[in-house]
Amino acid sequence: MLKIENLKKVFRTEEVETVALNGVSLEVNDGEFIAIMGPSGCGKSTLLNILGLLDNPTSGTYYLAGSEVGHLKESERTQARKGNIGFVFQSFNLIEEMNLFENVELPLVYMRINKSERKRRVEEALYRMNISHRAKHFPNQLSGGQQQRVAIARAIVANPKLILADEPTGNLDSKNGNDVMSLLTELNTEGTTIVMVTHSQHDAAYANRTINLFDGEIVTEVQL
């Protein structure tokens, strides 16, 4: 599915230079569920952003589904993400001004999918996440658990092969957190590859493999 080799990311401002990733190599197979753990500031989000083509590494290679994508221009990254990668964030990242249907529809609009097909797919994703009855509601009318289910619906609506999740249960109570982890596990069982950043040992236990980062380097890997 994806392979990174000797990935480095250095953030430079006028006064400071931060080495966020210092030579990270990792291969993730199709259908794996990987948890990335490590203390705050060790580079987890930076790594996930690069895997999600939201940012480029300073150096190193990144192969996604056989193509080198580590050094694309921003417009090329946007194109490469479309339909291929779904994102789930701790903060849900729903658009407040749009109702749930419109939020979930957005990736399909960017992909220029026609309206009737969009409707079909959005309804299916909302149904799957057990939130169809709220399609006309706005994000601020929902609980955190419901908002995260909508975010997962948006992540899966284009049928991506890869889902990247950054602390997906970080803002949820344990019941809603467990529901979200069960949904991710279900998607993984059906073949979706998942890479998830988490602080939680409990959530990491859902994964097949845990990668521990420290100071921008992989220090241990545990096969579960």
Contact residues: ligand ADP, CB under 6 A: 11, 18, 20, 38, 40-46
Q: How far is the CB of 74 from ligand ADP (least distance, A)?
A: 15
Which C-beta is closer to ligand ADP: that of 44 or that of 149? 44
- At closest approach, how far in Å is the CB of 2 from ligand ADP? 18
Task: Give the full edge-to-edge strand order of the sheet including 193-197.
Answer: 85-89, 162-166, 193-197, 33-37, 209-214, 217-223
Is-contact 152 180, C-beta < 8 A? yes
Beta-strand pair 162-166/193-197? parallel
What's the distance, Cα to Cα, between the start and end of the chain in Å? Answer: 19
Q: Dig out the tokens for 106 from the structure.
A: 């957005």
Residue 10 or 98 having the CB closest to ligand ADP:
10
**71 has which bridge partners?**
none
Tokens coding 10: 């250095």
**Which residue type occupies 213?**
L
What minimum distance in Å lies between the beta carbon of 62 and ligand ADP?
Answer: 16
In the complex with ligand ADP, which residue's Cβ is closer, 11 or 127?
11
41 or 141, CB closer to ligand ADP? 41
Shortest CB 21 distance to ligand ADP, Å = 8
